């Protein structure tokens, strides 16, 4: 959120908002909109265009396990909300002169700037909550109970915007014709900042909760970056709003405010998809091998050690060691082999193939009786040329299956 008190090419006393002049003090001069303002706007939009291309690439390769693990639907919602939020921030920080359609302050200030900033934060919260639900609470990622928190948060944002629109503009945000700019009323501005801080605290708290989940699935570091970005932006906004309520008079300060909003969304998206997208382009097979090796080491490091079946693998075998016993997952030419459930006291996993075109599937073949290794009574894998994937299973007794990670 940002407050705007002036339009370029105007000289005025900021206290004139309330009609009270400041005797004996010179009126500050507003920096006009210049090349630096436009540079921030166009650079931000250009970088978001590059991000859009990376996101499209990720969707086109969504069956690639490291990309699929990034939950592309939620990442896409984060991207769209970040772009709209940045544009609203540019309008409300004074990088775009308030003329014509830009003078619709409630549209840009409430429905664009505030709404999508909150949508972005709520989506980040839900993303971290999903990891906590699956890996800490051992619950599925399906059903109304799973989606209820996200629906509730989005509905809360909608209600806030509707109420803000319904309330008289003198209590929220209004257009000042003399200055041709929008102005957030003080108490409304502070209320919105309080909501921002609450969302950041929730992000930080959930990040702490997921710090111990297995690192192959773990987005703790990414979530920690989200928390740092969110708190940094909130701190910057608070300092600007409280200590320098004339920030839009200064080209450097208003540009910094918009840049912080941009950085929060842009960096968050690239933290999620940057590394897997770049590796998928430059070294797809090697990266997949490394990713699956790490998956086996971290996901089952205390109970099993896995040598994953790789694309173009010569051996075609994956080995699970449990003490002195070895269970071998062998690539066969038999279609529609049953999925195999590998369980232990703390974790439950499922081996299955990605849909593909070649007739290959995985069948679990035991060399000895191993406690906790059972064939599932349901489900068959499709024929595939993709590697065996390790997916988290929740509530196996009720037939519940989690597909969040892979």
Q: What is the pLDDT of residue 91?
A: 87
Q: What is the pLDDT of residue 345?
A: 36
- Within 10 Å of residue 178's Cβ, how many Cβ atoms? 10
On whether both 172 and 212 belong to a single domain, the answer is yes
Cα–Cα distances (Å) from 93 to 21, 103, 188, 296, 357, in that order, read 24, 13, 16, 48, 53
Position 44 scores a pLDDT of 95
Distance in angstroms (rounded) separating the CA atoms of residues 89 and 143: 35
Cα–Cα distance between 226 and 150 in angstroms, integer?
Answer: 18
Which of 222, 249, 282 terminates a domain? The answer is: 282
The token pair that represents 243 in the structure block: 């200590």
Both 109 and 237 in a single domain?
A: yes
Of 197, 37, 181, give the one whose Cα is nearest residue 117.
Answer: 197
Same domain? 161 vs 191 = yes
Per-residue pLDDT tens over the stretch 35-63 = 888 999 999 999 999 999 999 999 999 99
Residues 343 and 377 in one domain: yes
Of 282, 314, 349, the residue that ends a domain is: 282
Label each residue of 245-257 as H, E or C: CCHHHCHHHHHHH
HSE value, Cβ hemisphere, 13 Å, CA-based, for 196? 24
Q: Is residue 391 part of a domain?
A: yes
d(CA 363, CA 386): 14
CATH of the domain at 26: 1.20.1070.10
Number of domains in the chain: 2
Domain ends where: 219, 247, 282?
282
pLDDT in tens, 281-333: 999 999 999 888 887 776 533 322 333 344 444 333 333 333 322 232 223 23
Residues 259 and 333 in one domain: no
For residue 358, give its domain range.
290-398
Number of other CB atoms surrounding residue 256 within 10 Å = 15
Determine phi and psi for 249, rounding to 5 degrees.
-70, -25
Q: Say what the pLDDT of residue 248 is.
A: 63
Report whether 304 contacts 321 (CB < 8 A).
yes
CA distance 193 to 118: 11
Does 2 reside within a domain?
no
Whether 299 is covered by a domain: the verdict is yes
Q: Which residues of the chain fall short of a pLDDT of 50?
A: 2-21, 300-406
pLDDT of residue 311: 42
156 in a structural domain: yes
pTM of the model: 0.70
User: Within this chain, do residues 336 and 216 fall inside the same structural domain, yes or no?
Assistant: no
pLDDT at 324: 26
How many residues in total does the chain contain?
A: 406
């Amino acid at each position: 959120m940002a407050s705007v008190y002036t339009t370029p090419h105007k000289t005025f006393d900021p206290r004139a908002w309330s009609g009270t002049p400041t005797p004996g003090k010179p009126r500050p001069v507003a920096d006009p909109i210049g090349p630096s303002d436009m540079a921030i706007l166009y650079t931000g939009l250009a970088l978001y265009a590059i991000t859009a291309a990376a996101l499209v690439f990720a969707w086109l390769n969504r069956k690639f396990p490291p990309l699929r693990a990034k939950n592309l639907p939620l990442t896409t919602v984060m991207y769209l909300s970040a772009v709209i939020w940045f544009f609203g921030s540019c309008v409300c920080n004074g990088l775009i002169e308030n003329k014509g359609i830009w003078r619709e302050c409630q549209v840009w200030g409430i429905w664009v700037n505030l709404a999508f900033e909150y949508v972005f934060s709520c989506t980040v919260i839900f993303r971290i909550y999903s990891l906590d639900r699956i890996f800490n609470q051992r619950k599925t990622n399906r059903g109304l109970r799973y989606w209820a928190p996200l629906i509730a948060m989005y509905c809360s944002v909608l209600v806030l915007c509707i109420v803000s629109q319904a309330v008289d503009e003198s209590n929220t945000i209004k257009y000042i014709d003399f200055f041709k700019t929008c102005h957030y009323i003080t108490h409304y501005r502070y209320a919105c900042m309080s909501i921002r801080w609450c969302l950041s605290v929730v992000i930080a708290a959930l990040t702490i909760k997921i710090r111990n989940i297995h690192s192959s699935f773990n987005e703790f570091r990414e979530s920690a970056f989200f928390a740092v970005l969110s708190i940094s932006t909130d701190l910057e906004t608070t300092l600007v709003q409280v200590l320098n309520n004339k920030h839009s008079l200064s080209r450097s300060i208003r540009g910094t405010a918009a840049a912080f909003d941009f950085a929060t969304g842009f960096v968050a998206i690239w933290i999620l998809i940057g590394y897997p997208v770049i590796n998928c382009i430059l070294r797809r097979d090697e990266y997949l091998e490394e990713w699956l090796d790490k998956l086996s080491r971290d996901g089952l490091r205390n109970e099993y050690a896995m040598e994953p079946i790789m694309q173009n693998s010569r051996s075609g075998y994956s080995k699970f060691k449990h003490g002195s016993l070895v269970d071998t997952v062998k690539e066969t030419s038999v279609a529609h082999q049953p999925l195999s459930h590998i369980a232990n006291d703390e974790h439950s996993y499922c081996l299955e193939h990605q849909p593909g075109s070649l007739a290959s599937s995985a069948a679990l073949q035991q060399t000895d009786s191993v406690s906790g290794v059972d064939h599932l009574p349901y489900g068959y894998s499709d024929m595939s040329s993709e590697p065996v994937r390790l997916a988290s299973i929740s509530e196996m007794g009720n037939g519940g299956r989690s597909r969040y990670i892979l």
